[in-house]
Structures are given as C-alpha cells and as structure tokens.
Structure 1
C-alpha cells in the first residue's frame, strides 16, 4: 500500500512521498481566483522522503477553459515549476472552469468543472496580546470575515509577513585585497607577508532591510455550525514576544479564500495528514483523491484545481503596541579586531585570517582605528542584503 506523507508549505510546495514501491506522481497546485491578475499553476513530480530534489514538470501545455470555451493559456517560468497565464484574467460569477494539462511525453490530464463560490469580505484583521496554551506570551493575529449570502461559508487562510530589519552595525567600507606582498624587516629580523588593503565606498545602504515570509501551514474555518454568515476570531498566526520580527516594524497581509465544500474537504484532509498525531496514526490514508484525472487511465494525481473568491487585508504593528520589551537581534554578532600596523607581530596566520574573514566568510568592515586596526563583524550584523532586501516595499508604512 502506498503511504503518503504530504508537506504543504504555503500550498505551493511539492509533495514528498515515501513508499516501499515508490510511484512518481504528478503534483498539481492551482487556484484560480476572482482577482484580476496573472494566475499561476505549479507542476512538479512527487519524490521519496529520503531525497529533497525538486523535480519540475517542464514544457507542459497548460490552459484553463471556461464553460463558454474561452481558453486561457499558461507559459512556464524558466527554471521553475510555475506556469503563469499569458494574460491577466479572473474567475467570474455564473461561470465554470476546468484545468487542462498535457505533459511533453503526451499524458493528458483534466480537472472537473469548478464554479466560483460566494464572495467574502474581511471585516477586521487585528492583533492582540495573548498567552498561548504553552504559556508563551506574544501577539495573536485574528481575522473576522463575512460571506455575501446565507449559504455555508468555507474559508482557507494564507499570509505574507514582512518585517523591517536594522542591523546593529554599519558597514564602513568595502575591502579589496592585493596579492600577497613579502618583506624582510632587517631591524626586527623577520620575514612576513601581508596584503595591501584598498577601501571603496559602500555603493548601497546595507543597514536597513525588509524580509518577507509566506505561510507554511493550512488554516481553515467554516460557519456550518453557526446561524450567521460570519466567521470571527480565526487565529492566523501567533508571534512570541521575543521574536525579532516585531522588533522594528511588522506587516501582516492575510489572504482569505472562500472555497466550495469539496475544496475545503480536500485541504482539511491535507491538514489532518500534516498534523503530528495523524502522521503517527496507523489509520493514515494512502491517497487523497483530488479533482484532476488522467483522461485515458486511472493514474493517481496529487492536487486540486481550486476556484476561489479571495480578499486581502494588511496591518502594521511592532512590540511597543503591546507593551512588550524590544526583542533581541535575531543573530549573535561576532566582532573581530585585527591590528595590522606591526606586520611582523601579525605573523602569517593572522594576515591570512583577516583575508579569510573578509573574503571567504564575508565579514564586513565596520570600523578602522589609527589607520591600521580593522574591526570586522559577521555579515548578518552589518549587511542586510545577505539575507533580505534593502529595497523598501511599495506598500510599506513607517
């Protein structure tokens, strides 16, 4: 029996599958929304749990057809699993859509026809100080939504979080090293070598950066047990009070997808499989049936073609909004000082250590004392471009 263990990261990642008799399966990730934009479809092949090699499905023919036989073609992004629509479009009310895929070896796949569910509005996106069930103090982010009709409302939540980073140190200059230069000091009777060091102005600021992470969990909610068409106080994310992401400025963008019941059930099953208790259960199901099939055989396909109504909303905050102390910087800073004045005292090892830290470990120069004492620090503490962007996002509000 094929045992499936699925890790869904932001609903965009491939599915690793482990089995005594491993089957390579097509993995489809596609959500058509009612937002006018370039729509995306992601195609990969499954891979065993003991490997982490992402296998793209290249050169496939991909399109979406509506019930009026209008076709929306997709093209593959170079060196990526993503196929993007050739033109912006959106799902509209009272229309149905199906996904069609033909791989370069001639296999054809087609989804069932799916319609756009009821629209949803985001009434409120907010954050409150809270102590979670593990006794950790922090910030809980909630969402309140309302459906546009009195039918049952089924919602899936994703998010992008963006946070501001201010490094503890500022890059003084960029360093350029010459080839080794050898000298003999007759007064001290020592041979030594060193590097001439040339300093160049820093071309771009590296102290302030912005980092964006996407959600990697499945959050679902519905109002099937409620009388009203609202779903309130859905927990989107908990942030411990000592997490650096809220240290300077934090932005949270929520995506709320209103889905039909079948899609909701599919993601609910994925969520159960991803839970720790399910992964240890002897009753773990072997395969999740989606709505995509091979047109000519019973080949198993992983994935679901989802048509959803989507709304987004963004908030900003930081630690001071909740009375917390400022969190510590996310990385420990290692400050190394090199006295480069007395080159005999440097010795061969120290000369190479400075060169190694600056060129191989990418330590950044943050200070010079007396034109010969160089202070360097690990890049995480002075150069935000090594792990984030130094370009302020268009949406950012300080």
Structure 2
C-alpha cells in the first residue's frame, strides 16, 4: 500500500502542470510525515493487527527486492519501510468495549486479546502517535456474509496469451448486503534445491587482513539442518475485487483469483493456495478501486486528476492530508486448494528453476587485504573463502581438474544448494502430500 500511495502522490504532482518541475519529495516534510494505516478487522476470532508507517522517499520505488546470488540477503521490507513506533492503538465498538493493541514489532500492533467483529456492531479505530497526534476512522460494520463454496484449478490462457493454471472460486450468499467483494490469497509451494549435496562449507578463524598471508580454516562438513526441501510462501500483492450487483446472478461462478504461468517454478512440485473472500462495503470498494486504478500505468495520462486518495481515516484536529489508509470491517470466508504440476502437465518437463545453477569453481584463498604496495587487477573470481564468509555459495563436490583461477572445490550459488535461502525448512501444519 505504501508504494502505491507514494506513486499516486508523485503522479498527482506531475499531472498538475505541463512544465517540468522539481517535485522535491525528499525535502517535503509534509509528505514524509503522512501516516499510513493498514488494518482490516474480520469476523475471525484471533489477535487482529494494525500496521502503521510513515511515507518514505521515492528512492524506495527503485530498489530491486529480487534475490541476487552475488550479494548478502537482507530484509528489504524491514530495511526500507519507516514504521511508526510507540503509538497508542485501540478499536472501540458501539457497546463501549475497547480493544487495546500492543506493538509486537516496530510499527506492527496486535490486539491484547483475541476477538471477532460481530454482525450488527460498529467499530472505530483510534490511533495516537508518539508525537501526540490523534487519528480516528469512521464507524465501520460487517455488511453481510457469503461463503466460498468451491475452489478449483483449471488450465487456462491469460489475457496476454500465456498458458497456465487459473485458480477459480464459486461462492454463495448467506445474509445481509453482499455486493462488494475483495479477495486475497496466501500461497505455499514446495521447493527442492536442484544442486543440494549432503555436505557444505564451514569457515572458521578467517582473517582476510592477516599478514603475510590470509589465515582461515575451511572444512567440508555434513549439513546440520534440512536444506533440500523447503516451503515458499507468497501473499497476494494485487487488488482483486468483484461486485455482486454487476454479475446478474445470486452467486459468483468461476471467478478467477489467481493465474499462474505454466513456467512459474512455484508449481514445479506441489502447490497450495488459500483464498480469502472479504465482504466489504461501497466505501471500501471505492478506495481499493481507486488505489488499483492509480497504480496502473495507463492512468498516468488520464484526464482525471488523481488528487489525494481519500480513505476513512482523518486527523482529530481537522488537518487535511496527514493520513492515508482504510480501516475495513469485513466478514471472511476461506477455502484451500492443493495441486501438483503433473496433475495438469503430466508428460512435460518441470518449470525451470528461477536461478542460474551452473557449477563453479574459484581459488580457495586470496591475497591479504592489508598488503602494501601496488597490485594489479585480479583476473580470477572472488575466492571461495570470501564467498563462504558472505554466505553466497553451497558446496557440491571436489574439483578434480584444477587449473588457472580454479580451486579444489566445485560450488553453486547458495540458492541452488540450500533451499532455506528462499523458503522455510519447516513443513506447514496444514500441508498434505
């Protein structure tokens, strides 16, 4: 949401005049002080969550969060998002019951107790930030109930002509006003490291600046944890909505919530998706529809001026443009699906692993980093001990044909031999084979 909203502000500034201007976003304190609120209260009995952050600079939009086998891993989301800490967060209902939230990690607030939104009751979100500013939402309530009656996958073709698998749902109305629907999904998939080996490197006593030569101990040891089979996980990152009133039937039939290209490696072995259907109201539908439209490239040059995206949160002092977000209260219905690649493409090769897993070698050691005097360029790749120290490579086997710029070991990028780089080695509790 933060990146979409920042994009909208930039486009709004660009569309306000024809001549070229300096947006000056990095120096605009008004923009950087905008509070972003993300919260959806559901009828599930659980500890609910409110996420608070501040607008950041446009630099964030250009940072690539895709895994690179040549650089150490870092938490892109945690490093870049300016989370708002030490706030006071409460949700109050019409009966006078107040639910307090504690900060479980920077900017992430979870309710002290489990509770569920109830049909016929209204709820209001209140936030007081560390600087004493207070914000409130309009009162929101559950509009109606509808269930995901069926979830299934079929071969299909995308609008761009790509072949793949579509995940579809059917639903059924239960009670109340069910017109505006939003869908999210949580997908989990099995990962098998293609170049896994039972042994790996262990580097100790490494001093790259030792003189006259580098000191270290490099061992080949048996792996101490599961690193061959892991489970990846993705949450939906797009806005998926449907309007019941526009469909002309009482129930939704064959609504596609996810398309997966047949060459996507996440379906290579076994794949599971849990789809959540949220029954919301017209204000919520409009907010997310605007957010989705403004984030599309095609809307940049539209005649409609985006302006400031209006949610249902405001500053209690009446100051405009100081908060963005939407506090939603919805009913939820969920359903889960499992399938294998072979269920649809029994006689075809599995999708390719998304990284180059060519076997490599390099000199085991290197010159001391603290040698004095001029040195020419090193024609050889980064040494094994440097790459092991940065946790970039996985051991495969001995190198029996050493030559120039080669060493005694064959290795691959870490992601090719250790699945924990892109997944968890803990099997999910819901997983079935």
TM range (shorter): 0.7 to 0.9
**Gap runs ≥5 in structure 1:** 181-190, 341-347
Larger proportion of strand: 1
The answer to whether residue 412 in structure 2 is matched with residue 391 in structure 1 is no
The answer to whether residue 36 in structure 2 is matched with residue 27 in structure 1 is yes
Q: Which of the numbers 308, 311, 317 marks the counterpart of 2:330? A: 308
> C-alpha deviations, 1:284-342, integer Å up to 9, x for none?
320122211222223222111110001111111122111253111221113124698xx
Q: Secondary structure at the match of 2:58?
A: coil
Q: CA deviation at 1:29?
A: 1.1
Matches within 5 A, 1:41-56: 41-51=50-60, 53-56=80-83
Q: CA deviation at 1:236?
A: 1.1
Aligned residues of 1:163 and 1:212 also touching (Cα < 8 A): yes
Q: Which of the numbers 143, 153, 161 marks the counterpart of 2:179? A: 153
For 1:328, the equivalent position in structure 2 comes to 352
Q: CA deviation at 1:362?
A: 2.6
Bigger-Rg structure (1/2): 1
Matches within 5 A, 1:77-226: 77-78=104-105, 80-149=106-175, 151-171=177-197, 172-176=199-203, 197-226=218-247
Q: How many residues align?
A: 373
Q: 1: CA distance between counterparts of 2:41 and 2:215?
A: 61
For 1:186, the equivalent position in structure 2 comes to none
Q: 2: CA distance between counterparts of 1:130 and 1:63?
A: 45
**Structure 1 residues 15, 61: CA separation in 2 closer, same or farther (over 3 Å shift)?**
farther
Q: 1: CA distance between counterparts of 2:301 and 2:281?
A: 29
- The TM-score with structure 2 as length reference comes to 0.78
Q: CA deviation at 1:163?
A: 1.0
The answer to whether residue 304 in structure 2 is matched with residue 283 in structure 1 is yes
Q: 1: CA distance between counterparts of 2:381 and 2:81?
A: 42
Q: CA deviation at 1:270?
A: 1.3
For 2:70, the equivalent position in structure 1 comes to none
Deviates further, 161-170 or 283-292: 283-292
For 1:353, the equivalent position in structure 2 comes to 383
Superposition CA RMSD, Å: 2.9
Q: 2: CA distance between counterparts of 1:203 and 1:224?
A: 56
Q: 1: CA distance between counterparts of 2:214 and 2:36?
A: 58
Q: CA deviation at 1:375?
A: 1.9
Q: 1: CA distance between counterparts of 2:136 and 2:218?
A: 63
Q: Secondary structure at the match of 2:302?
A: coil
Aligned residues of 2:393 and 2:411 also touching (Cα < 8 A): yes
Q: CA deviation at 1:105?
A: 1.7
Q: CA deviation at 1:261?
A: 1.8
Aligned residues of 2:178 and 2:279 also touching (Cα < 8 A): no
> C-alpha deviations, 1:210-256, integer Å up to 9, x for none?
11011110000011134433122222111111111110111111111
**Structure 1 residues 385, 149: CA separation in 2 closer, same or farther (over 3 Å shift)?**
same
The answer to whether residue 410 in structure 2 is matched with residue 375 in structure 1 is yes
Q: 1: CA distance between counterparts of 2:223 and 2:280?
A: 50
- The TM-score with structure 1 as length reference comes to 0.85
Q: CA deviation at 1:39?
A: 0.5
Q: CA deviation at 1:156?
A: 0.3
Aligned residues of 1:17 and 1:49 also touching (Cα < 8 A): no
Q: CA deviation at 1:16?
A: 7.2
